[in-house]
């Protein structure tokens, strides 16, 4: 299988290139980027034969079967639709769009083309969250509450590599999207009650730097999510699962119980890297002609919940 990675020189584009390198039978034949120099450097360093700054150029190539989009959030839906219209399978990094209307349009186009279209909801694939999900499916755990903290220190428009961004990130439509989808995925229900609070808008970035979100599903489980770009301390997202049969804390690909005792994740998946596992699912779905876990259709309910949260923000 031959793949194009768009946004290849960005923080997550590089993570996807590393992940693909660990997957047999898949090769990157093209990379696309906003800046010519950095895109060319990535292609030359990794021995990728084609690079360009125009996605359409890559989509016209016969040696591109599928595309991974690690581009700015505001471009996700339009570019994913562009890939599908060009006959290419597509995985678009989270979120699939920054509004509900564009999300619904993307799902519509996927259904029209019948191609694989997947959203990059990595939390579904992290071994830590997979372990919890397997226990839930087996009837051994039931979520009573998820308490989640998503914290960064990002008062200027910089990416995870410390380089200037050409776009503005968003706590709700990007970072909250991870937890909204995961909460509904783990409980198997769509939130019936939601509310959101946001702090002051940043004078230059025009976004809220702090946010608090509450959700409840019909079965009774609740989720409390705190997000901040003002946190000067440990960065990232930390998930506490308070269940009927134990408490667990997930930190990306690691899992401990409520007393910080490590949980053995051996055998949960073929890799400990959530990005690699996400990519493996994308390629497997294409090969097997099936809907992937985290298809855009499956993730649409999260986008609908985000829309409801946005409308509730005060």
C-alpha–C-alpha distance, residues 109 and 100, integer Å: 14
Tokens 């004078």 correspond to what residue?
Answer: 203
Give the 3-state secondary structure percentages of the chain, helix then strand then coil, rounded to 5.
Answer: 35, 25, 35
Write down the pLDDT at residue 203. 85
Q: Answer whether 54's CB lies under 8 Å from 4's CB.
A: no
Range 123-274+301-312 has CATH code 3.40.50.11140:
no
Beta bridge partners of 153: 230
Beta bridge partners of 52: 32
C-alpha–C-alpha distance, residues 53 and 6, integer Å: 9
Tokens 């898949």 correspond to what residue?
Answer: 26
DSSP 132-162: HHHHHHTTS--EEEEEEEEE-B-SSSB-TTS
The two three-digit tokens of residue 62, written as one number: 């016969």
Write down the pLDDT at residue 164. 62
C-alpha–C-alpha distance, residues 49 and 138, integer Å: 46
pLDDT in tens, 66-97: 999 999 999 999 999 999 999 999 999 999 99
The two three-digit tokens of residue 66, written as one number: 């599928």
Q: Which residues of the chain have pLDDT under 70?
A: 156-168
Q: Answer whether 183's CB lies under 8 Å from 147's CB.
A: no
Q: CATH topology for 2-120?
A: Rossmann fold (3.40.50)
| Helical H segments across 8-159, by residue range | 11-21, 36-46, 55-59, 76-85, 100-113, 127-137
Beta bridge partners of 249: 240, 256
Beta bridge partners of 237: 150
Q: Answer whether 36's CB lies under 8 Å from 57's CB.
A: no
Tokens 């506490």 correspond to what residue?
Answer: 240
The structure's pTM equals 0.93
Write down the pLDDT at residue 206. 82
pLDDT in tens, 8-57: 999 899 999 999 999 999 999 999 999 999 999 999 999 999 999 999 99
Write down the pLDDT at residue 161. 57
DSSP 74: G
How many residues are given for the chain?
314
Q: Answer whether 190's CB lies under 8 Å from 209's CB.
A: no
Write down the pLDDT at residue 160. 58
Domain ranges for the chain:
2-120, 123-274+301-312
Write down the pLDDT at residue 302. 98
For the sheet containing 254-257, what is the strand order? 193-198, 210-216, 222-228, 143-151, 236-243, 246-251, 254-257
């Amino acid at each position: 299988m031959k793949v194009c990675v768009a946004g290849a020189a960005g923080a997550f584009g590089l993570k996807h290139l590393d992940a693909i390198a660990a997957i047999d039978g898949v090769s990157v034949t093209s990379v696309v980027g906003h800046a010519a120099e950095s895109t060319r450097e990535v292609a030359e360093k990794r021995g990728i034969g084609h690079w360009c700054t125009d996605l359409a150029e890559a989509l016209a190539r016969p040696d591109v079967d599928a595309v991974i989009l690690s581009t700015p959030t505001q471009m996700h839906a339009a570019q994913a639709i562009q890939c599908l219209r060009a006959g290419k399978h597509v995985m678009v990094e989270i979120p699939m769009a920054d509004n509900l209307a564009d999300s619904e349009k993307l799902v519509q186009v996927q259904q029209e083309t019948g191609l694989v279209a997947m959203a990059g909801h990595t939390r579904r694939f992290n071994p830590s969250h997979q372990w919890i999900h397997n226990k839930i499916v087996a009837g051994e755990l039931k979520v009573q509450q998820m308490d989640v903290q998503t914290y960064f220190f990002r008062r200027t428009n910089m990416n995870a590599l410390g380089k200037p961004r050409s776009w503005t990130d968003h706590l709700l439509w990007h970072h909250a999207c991870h937890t909204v989808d995961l909460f509904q995925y783990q409980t198997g229900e769509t939130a019936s009650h939601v509310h959101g609070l946001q702090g002051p808008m940043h004078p230059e970035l025009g976004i809220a730097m702090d946010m608090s979100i509450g959700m409840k599903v019909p079965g009774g489980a609740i989720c409390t999510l705190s997000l901040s770009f003002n946190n000067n301390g440990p960065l990232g997202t930390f998930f506490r699962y308070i269940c009927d049969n134990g408490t667990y804390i997930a930190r990306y690909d690691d899992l401990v119980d409520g007393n910080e005792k490590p949980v053995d994740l051996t055998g949960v998946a073929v890799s400990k890297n959530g990005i690699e596992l996400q990519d493996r699912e994308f390629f497997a779905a294409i090969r097997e002609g099936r809907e992937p876990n985290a298809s855009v259709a499956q993730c649409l309910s999260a986008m609908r919940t985000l829309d409801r949260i946005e409308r509730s923000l005060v």
